[in-house]
Amino acid sequence: MSEDLLEINDLQVAFTTRRGVVEAVRGITLTVAKGEMLGLVGESGSGKSVTGFATTRLLDAAGRVTGGKILFRGQDVTKLRGDDLRQLQGAAMSMIFQNPRAALNPIRAIGLQIADAILTHKKISKDAARAEALELLRAVQIRDPEARMNAYPHELSGGMCQRVMIAIAISCNPALLIADEPTTGLDVTTQKVVMDLLAEIAAARGMATILITHDLGLAARYCRRIAVMERGRIVEEASPKILFTAPQHAYTKRLVAASPTATSRIEDLVTEEERERTAAVVSKPRPAPAHGTPPLLEVRKLAKRFDQGSAAVADFSMTMAGGESVGLVGESGSGKSTTSRMICRLIDPSEGDIVFDGQSIGHVAARDFHRSRFRKDIQIVFQDPNESLNPRYTAFDCIAHPLMRLDGMRGGDALRKRVEECAERVGLPLDLLPRFPHQLSGGQKARVGIARAIACRPRLLVLDEPTAALDVSVQAVVLQLLDRLRRENDIALLFVSHDLNVVRMLCDRTIVLRNGSIVEQGESRALFDNPKTDYTRKLVEAIPHIETGPALAAAL
Amino acid sequence: MLSYILRRIVATLPVMAIVALFVFSLLYIAPGDPAVVIAGDQASPEDVERIRQSLGLDRPFLIQFGSWVWRILHGDLGTSIFTNLPVSTMIGQRLGPTLSLMIVTLLLTIVVAVPLGVLAAWKAGSLIDRVIMGFAVFGFSLPVFVVGYILAYIFALELEWLPVQGYTPLTQGFWPWLQNLILPAIALGCVYIALVARITRAAMLEVLQQDYIRTARAKGMGQGGILFIHALKNAAVPIVTVIGIGIALLIGGAVVTESVFAIPGLGRLTIDAILRRDYPVIQGIVLLFSFVYVLVNLMIDVTYTLVDPRIRY
């Protein structure tokens, strides 16, 4: 087709690592037409980002194109060198990265960083470049652009930084824009604003866009064509509608099943074959607590202020029964993590009280709480399993440590048995126990984190975005695991998340936080189906649903 | 910014006070009666008594310390036992050569080591990188006096390009001044260059892996722009730190270098003073060096805030 802007032909990319050569991309073929937005979807390690980097020639030194062609306007990008290459980079094709804050130079004013891109490709004066940079800041809808020109990345929010990245990427009017996970790590509402902006700019300037993402829902909302990648190959390429209604490839089926939607239930997240194992437990209903049972947790008018600033959390009250699951949702900065850490007694509240099992624990200083008998009962699973495990502890040590500290176990066979039992409960193969975190996958590390938290048989488990760093298929399994643990062991779950679809599935009740105070709370399904406040409605609407977005697709 | 610098200066006062106490105690840390120690082996009892009187060693320790500090605050560092000249005068006469040597060495180091480190990081793993790092290990391992004598032998005795030793004040012309300093500066700078080059390479390697370097490449920027506009400034904090810490190396090295090249500077004065047990002079010099070092650290802290807008003051 003569319309094709980019034509990737049997591309192969390999990385040289210490453990030998890894084939990241094993022969993919795809085309992008002028002005089209193509979704490239896959989980981590599928080779989707590597494809993007190979196209823009930004592969690491260890990565090498070992076969195939990347034809951009008929010219093979893989063979370009020196000045020819630089004329392409940032001018005819440009790229937007994941984690916008890290992608900007921390010690250079953003105006200069945009001007850098312009001056690299246009022979104009510095003042003219500065004027253009200001125009671009306006185009990406940054408020008060004159003042922001001299701002540094750390003074801007994540969404703002990504807008600056977009401004840099579009500064020379590229024909092709590759967006690599552009909104991962941003709030749902910010994600929507940034993606809408990106789609709008791409349409207005006639740019072709490749949207690389792990989020099928996001791709479905903005792309008319989606290519699904698995282990370096494209397994399926279709319109979102076909992909969701009639996926052909087994992997696509699994991916579609694992992506939470507005209506899915926990048990829907895996395909038929995988469902058998959990079915027995799931079907058992949870007995309602006897009338008059005191709540497990009661939080009264909790408040937290940092350094005389305004309150991070104010007037927060809630109750939880044993075995209940409650979701705590809100955008970043809404105070949900602060609240969960206060309840875990990792930080001290400024005001208010926390009552656990009839006993006030809010006034026990956080640094002394490890001596309280309730330390065993309240445990936390942290956000990032990669960061929250000690790299020098094996999986066994991680799980054994709380048992030794809090349960007074002294090692030997008894300890080994308890650790193995915990590992079995979270579905962690026992032969993985001697391994160190870097030898485990993301999902396995998440299991170690959960096994560690449940080792002392807590009655309340606080989960701080436990699946945010995981692929959807791994997330599905972890969510099922949590739900099973709750039913089997009657553990109450306080689930902190910005992913409303996940909260809706896992939690009986949901509390919506904004700027440190409760906006709305209630039974999860009712709350999401009929949000009473504008803020909750905005949050719910911002979730990219699996349903194809006909309105937006038509607008493009 | 100004209030930050003022606050930092105030914060250095306790440091200087502790240094002063330590320097003053030097006399008492040495075993035995300070007066006897100062007088030396061949002194008669009358000599010892005279020294005790003149230094006020018969008074209580704290009073001695108090009056010593008081005099220093008024610019009086005491009088040399050996030459009977004021210590401040003696230091003043020797300051020029040492300061010249240190400044030339510092400039030489920055001009040579930083580009070498950047080059090594850019070409990491290549032959160039290995050669540069090989030289760094070499420079690290050779003592100053060995390098000094080898350089003097080759460039002064054999090739006769540069003078063997001595010092010419700057007032007698720039070239004669510099000519005498080239070999000592290279000898003194060897370890320093090796250190700074290694740190520059390590810091640059770290920075070159950051996402924003990839962004710069995505913009199509040239290698020079990436290395010097985006990377080097981000790598500057550790580099500046090591350059600052290295000043202590220079102070120690200057003592040896000045002996090798017969430069009449503070290093020589230090050695002479130690050999003569001229305590007021030793105290004055140590106090001065400490003060310089504290000042350098203050300058490093201020430099951080200039380099990195994220550092608050």
DSSP label of A328: E
Using the predicted structure, report yes or no on whether residue A309 has a pLDDT greater than 70: no
Mean pLDDT of chain A: 85
Is the Cβ–Cβ distance between A231 and A46 less than 8 Å?
Answer: yes
- pLDDT for A280 equals 46
Q: What is the mean pLDDT of residues A503-531?
A: 89
Contact residues, chain B, for A121 at CB < 8 Å: 220
Q: Does A436 touch chain B (CB under 8 A)?
A: no
Split at pLDDT 50, 70, 90, the class of A415 is very high
CB A500 within 8 A of CB A543: yes
User: Long-range contacts for A535-539 (Cβ within 8 Å, ≥24 apart)?
Assistant: A536/A512, A538/A189, A539/A188, A539/A189, A539/A329, A539/A330, A539/A331, A539/A500, A539/A512
Q: Is A230 helix (H, G, I), strand (E, B) or coil?
A: strand
Tell me whether residue B88 is in a domain.
no
What pLDDT is recorded for position B74?
84
Q: Which residue has the tokens 């305004």?
A: A310
Query: Which of B15, B43, B73 is a domain's end point?
Result: B73
A272-298 pLDDT, tens digit per residue, is: 555 545 444 444 455 555 566 778 899
Q: Hunting for tokens 């008319």 — which residue is that?
A: A224
Check residue B231 and give its pLDDT: 93
Q: Which of A119-123, A220-224, A509-513, B274-278 has the lowest mean pLDDT?
A: B274-278
B101 with B37, same domain? no
User: Do B61 and B201 lie in a common domain?
Assistant: no
Q: What is the pLDDT of residue A512?
A: 92
- A86 CB neighbours in chain B (<8 A) are 220-222
pLDDT of residue A293: 72
We report the CATH number of the domain holding residue B198 as 1.10.3720.10
Per residue, the 3-state secondary structure of A30-88, as one string, reads EEEECCCEEEEECCCCCCHHHHHHHHCCCCCCCEEEEEEEEEECCEEHHHCCHHHHHHH
Q: Quick check: B115 pLDDT over 90? A: yes
Q: Is the pLDDT of residue A395 over 70?
A: yes
| B82: in domain | no
Residue A306 pLDDT: 78
- Decide if A120 and B225 are in contact by the 8 Å CB cutoff: yes
- Find chain A residues with C-beta within 8 A of B218's C-beta: 56, 58, 89-90, 94-95, 97, 169
Q: Give the integer Cα–Cα distance in Å for A362 and A347.
A: 10
CATH entry 3.40.50.300 includes domain A4-259 = yes
Predicted-complex ipTM score: 0.77
Most confident of B140-149, B204-213, B272-281: B204-213
Identity of the highest mean pLDDT range in A40-44, A58-62, A133-137? A133-137
> Does residue B130 form part of some domain?
yes
H/E stretch holding A213: strand A208-213
pLDDT tens sequence across A355-372: 998 888 888 888 888 888
Is A332:A295 a contact under the CB 8 Å cutoff? no
The reported pLDDT for the residue numbered A399 is 92
Residue from the list A99, A102, A120 with its beta carbon closest to the beta carbon of B219:
A120
State the angle between helix axes of A188-205 and A534-542 in degrees (0 to 180), rounded to the nearest 10: 60
Q: Which helix (H) or strand (E) holds A413?
A: helix A412-425
- Interchain pair B215, A108: CB under 8 A: no
Contact with chain B for residue A165, Cβ under 8 A: yes
Fold of A295-377+459-544: Rossmann fold (3.40.50)
Pairing mode, strands A460-464 and A492-497: parallel
User: Is residue B100 a part of any domain in this protein?
Assistant: yes
* Percent of chain B whose pLDDT exceeds 70: 98
Q: Has residue B1 got a pLDDT over 90?
A: no
Question: Is A251 a residue whose pLDDT tops 80?
Answer: yes
Kindly report the nearest CA distance between residue B211 and chain A, in angstroms: 5
Q: What is the mean pLDDT of residues A15-20?
A: 80
How much is the average pLDDT of A146-170?
89
Q: Give the angle subtended at the CA of B110 by the CAs of B105 and B116, to the nearest 5°.
A: 120
Task: Write down which residue in B23, B39, B73 finishes a domain.
Answer: B73
Structural domain count, chain B:
2
Q: How far apart are CA A311 and CA A503, in angstroms?
A: 25
Look up residue A530 and give its amino acid: N
Tokens describing residue A38: 């193509």
pLDDT digits (tens, 9 = 90+) for B42-64: 778 888 888 777 777 777 878 88
Q: A66 vs A17, which has greater pLDDT?
A: A66
CA-nearest residue to A118 within chain B is: B219
Whether pLDDT at A151 is above 70: yes
Tell me, yes or no, whether B313 lies in a domain.
no
Query: Quick check: A51 pLDDT over 90?
Result: yes
Q: For chain A, what are the domain ranges?
A: 4-259, 295-377+459-544, 382-457
B237 to chain A: closest CA residue: A107
Percentage of residues in chain A having pLDDT higher than 70: 92
Q: What is the average pLDDT across B66-76?
A: 84
Q: How far is A313 from chain B (nearest CA, A)?
A: 26
Nearest chain B CA: its distance from A107 CA (Å):
6
Would you call A145 an interface residue with chain B, using a CB distance cutoff of 8 Å? no
The answer to whether position B60 is within a domain reads: yes
CA atoms within 13 A on the CB side of A137: 25
Domains A4-259 and A295-377+459-544 share a fold: yes
In this model, does residue A211 exceed pLDDT 90? yes
Length, in residues, of chain B = 313
Euclidean distance between CA atoms A135 and B204, whole angstroms: 33
Domain that holds residue B178: 95-307
The confidence score (pLDDT) of residue A308 equals: 64
Give the pairing of strands A37-41 and A492-497: unpaired
Closest-CA distance of chain A to residue B234, Å: 7
Which residue type, as a one-letter code, is found at position A531?
P
- pLDDT confidence of residue A270: 65
Per-residue confidence (pLDDT) for residue A283, from 0 to 100: 45
Angle made by CA atoms A298, A300, A304, in degrees to the nearest 5:
120
Kindly tell me if the per-residue pLDDT of A552 is higher than 50.
no
Q: Are residues B103 and B207 in the same domain?
A: yes
Answer yes or no: is B312 within a domain: no
Max mean pLDDT range (A441-450, B104-113, B256-265): B104-113
Note whether B114 and B52 are same-domain residues. no
Under an 8 Å CB criterion, which residues of B touch A?
Answer: 210-212, 214-222, 225, 229-230, 233-234, 307-310
Q: What percent of chain A has pLDDT over 90?
A: 31
Structure tokens at A53: 């980097």
In terms of phi and psi (left: phi > 0; alpha: psi -120 to 50; beta: otherwise), the region of B40 is left
| Closest to B118 in 3D by CA, of B217, B29, B239, B213 | B239
Q: Do B310 and A152 touch (CB under 8 A)?
A: yes
> What residues of chain B lie within 8 A of the CB of A103, using their CB?
211-212, 214-215
B63 within domain boundaries: yes
B52 and B107 co-located in one domain: no
Kindly state whether residues B211 and B263 are assigned to the same domain.
Answer: yes
- Using DSSP's 3-state secondary structure scheme, residue A270 falls into coil
